[in-house]
Amino acid sequence: MAMLEIERKFLVNNPGFKAEAFSQSEIRQGYLSSNPARAVRVRITGDQAFLTIKGASDAGGTTRFEWEKEISVDEARELFKLCEPGSIHKTRYYVKAGKHTYEVDEFYGDNEGLVLAEIELETADQHFDKPDWLGEEVTGDNRYYNSQLSKNPYTSW
């Protein structure tokens, strides 16, 4: 089991991605710990739930430790009661571009107006297609980590 996540993150500059999405899901998540060195997340997406631990990012912000375990939705609901104040609510759209799939998150609530696209890669320098709706790269900008958006929401910037 690979425990390294290699991803790049971008702002989205227009809603054209929605027409290209082949799937979407609603996500709610909270943080037991939002410490950037060891964030612990509880997530419910559809009828599935997960407990995820993420380590600190490397200097470029592309690579970090990630461990995830599926848990029951009931367990997740109980863990939400222990989460730090602030939560994330978003719709995730899955959009194919070349050999990769972008996960495009449209945020709600205190992060309304923010739309981010992430792409997971096999190596930090791997080539990938960049659709025309892809905007500025924000990989490594901590403000755009969900764990930070739960504490310092987009609408308060």
Q: Would the pLDDT of 37 be above 80?
A: yes
CB 93 within 8 A of CB 78: no
Concerning whether 31 is annotated as a catalytic residue, the answer is yes
CB 119 within 8 A of CB 8: yes
Q: Would the pLDDT of 85 be above 60?
A: yes
Indicate the average pLDDT of the chain: 95
Q: Where are the domains of the chain?
A: 4-156
For residue 32, what are the CA distances in angstroms to 6, 49, 59, 102, 128?
23, 14, 25, 27, 33
pTM of the model: 0.94
Q: What is the C-alpha separation between 157 and 155, in angstroms, rounded?
A: 6
Give the tens place of pLDDT for each residue, 112-152: 999 999 999 999 899 999 999 999 999 999 999 999 999 99
In the block, which residue shows the tokens 């991803």? 7
- What CATH number has the domain spanning 4-156? 2.40.320.10
Q: Would the pLDDT of 2 be above 80?
A: no
3-class secondary structure, 143: helix
Q: Would the pLDDT of 67 be above 90?
A: yes
